Structure 1
Amino acid sequence: MAAARARDAERDAILAALAPVADGIAATFGPVCEVVLHDYRRPEGSVVAVAGSLTGRAVGGAMSEIGMRVLARGDEAADELNYLTRTDRGTLVKSSTMVLRDSTGAVFGALCVNVDVTAVGQVHTLLGALAGLGAGPPEPPTTTFGNDIDSVVEAIVDAHQVRQHRGWAQLDREERLRLFRDLDARGVFAVRRAVEQVAGRLGISRATAYSYLSRSRTATGPAPDGGTA
């Protein structure tokens, strides 16, 4: 118990020290920049500091699916630097997610820097068209940033459904297991009440969702019953 308290105190101190760093980074880059500090001990409300307002999040807000993916990897997580994504409002964002570790090497949070590069992307497209260079780079994925963890979970489930072009009833057993494996790998089930929420989004019972999650983690045994809620 004493060791756990000491570990939490160390993590709290690291987060407290990084809060003014977040302010400094955002001030340096100006209104196109947002810096978000996350404490993964509270996945449903991981945001402990925000500088800037690019994604509209506030202290106490939820992590995005990017944070869920890092959380799912646990201590094996690595920094994700200079990747492009797009908000659901169409803003093109260049981001870096840097994991935070305590003195034992355990991952407990992240410092995320987001920069609005929408104008840069538009100029790149224009110059490419003028130079006759053809199609530009692939469209970056859309990421849901929000203060509500439920909206983030729902967006991940819905995106998977769109990629499949089919609903739950049209999926075979292996596709259903793959769906749950994918959601699990992306950290969805690290969130409290996520299984119930996924079940509701898919139109299945909570028992069916728990059964498929269990089967997806073992990849053995007969197919669970596919009832609806």
Structure 2
Amino acid sequence: MGGQDREAERDAIIAALVPVARGVAATFGPVCEVVLHDYRRPEKSVVAVAGSVTGRVAGGAMSEIGMRVLARGDEAGDELNYVTRTGAGQLLKSSTMVLRDSAGTVFGALCVNVDVGAIRQAHALLGALAGEGEGHGAGDPVTAAAPVTTFGNDLDSVVEAVLDAHRVGRPQPWAGLDRAGRLDFFRSLDDHGVFAVRRSVEQVAARLGISRASAYSYLSQARAATDPTSKGDDQ
């Protein structure tokens, strides 16, 4: 199958899934959102949105989860029934199912987000009416352990959120990190898929106050330390 035929095949898969997304969202009601992604256009990967849980809109960018899938390429697999939180603290139960063409190439994803918080509130209300104890709240282990995921319609804002999260978790500023610490920082960003999108190296360099060349050098060294066969600078 030639390149044009492969693109036509991918377009057909995306088109066929648009009504599926609508049907799934309609089945589960207002607590459910289904987002269809085409990773051939990372900055505008959202092709269709059914339901409204995270505020995604068609034409929006992928989330941190999408960047991670994109970074893994054809090695990416489905991520099912994981719990995450939005930046505003909204608890979600989500599944990300990768889309492949007939050659096995990953080119998109179908994502389902369920507002667990709304369901728990309804459960707690029914329990209170029935005279039962309180349901799960913000202090229960599942809620506390859920990682925060940025669902933004602008890819730059998603990258910024990942950078902010990494900086918060580090006691030393960039200038205070030794070479090993700096490589570890770039390796962690790379594992999160930050460098799988365009202009991300320049964005990271600007945030850290270093040159673009230095950022590429750190990234190359970080990848080489993980995989000696990596070329590092291929973007």
TM over 0.5, shorter chain: yes
1:191 aligns with 2:190: no
| Post-superposition offset of 1:77 | 0.7
CA distance in 2, matches of 1:119, 1:148: 26
- 1:215 Cα offset (Å): 1.1
Paired position in structure 2 for 1:227: none
Spell out the pairing of 1:80-119 with structure 2 (5 A cutoff).
Answer: 80-119=79-118
The Cα RMSD (Å) is 2.0
Residue 209 of structure 1 pairs with residue 215 of structure 2: yes
CA distance in 2, matches of 1:159, 1:166: 14
Contact 1:92–1:121 (8 Å) recurs in 2? no
Q: Please say if 1:39 is aligned against 2:38.
A: yes
- Secondary structure (helix, strand or coil) at the match of 2:134 reads helix
Aligned 1:154-169 pairs, distance under 5 A: 154-169=160-175
Distance 2:118 2:35 in 1: 22
Which residue of the other structure, out of 122, 130, 134, is the alignment partner of 1:126?
134
Give the corresponding residue for 1:30: 29
Aligned pairs (5 A) from 1:129-144? 136-137=141-142, 138-144=144-150
Separation in 1 of the partners of 2:21 and 2:136?
A: 35
Closer, same or farther: CA 128–148 of 1 in aligned 2, 3 Å:
closer
Alignment check: 8 A CA contact 2:31 2:118 kept: no
Aligned residue pairs total 215
* Aligned partner letter, 2:157: S
Using the TM superposition, give the Cα deviation of residue 165 of structure 1 relative to its aligned residue in structure 2, in angstroms. 2.4
Aligned position for 1:10: 9
Q: Which runs of 5 or more structure 1 residues have no equivalent in the other structure?
A: 221-229
User: Is the Cα contact below 8 Å between 2:120 and 2:135 reproduced in 1?
Assistant: no
Tell me the secondary structure at the aligned position of residue 40 of structure 2: coil
Residue pair 2:201, 2:216 contacting (<8 A) in 1 also = yes
Contact preservation (8 Å) 2:83, 2:93 = yes
Q: Secondary structure at the match of 1:100?
A: strand
- Hey, which bits of structure 1, 4+ residues long, moved more than 6 A? none
Structure 2 residues without counterparts, runs of 5 or longer:
128-132, 227-235
Show CA shifts across 1:137-157 (max 9, x none): 343111110110001001111
1:167, CA displacement in angstroms? 1.6
Given the two structures, how large is their TM-score scaled by the length of structure 1?
0.88
Aligned counterpart, 1:224: none
Identity in percent: 71
Does structure 1 conserve the Cα–Cα contact (< 8 Å) formed by 2:33 and 2:113?
yes
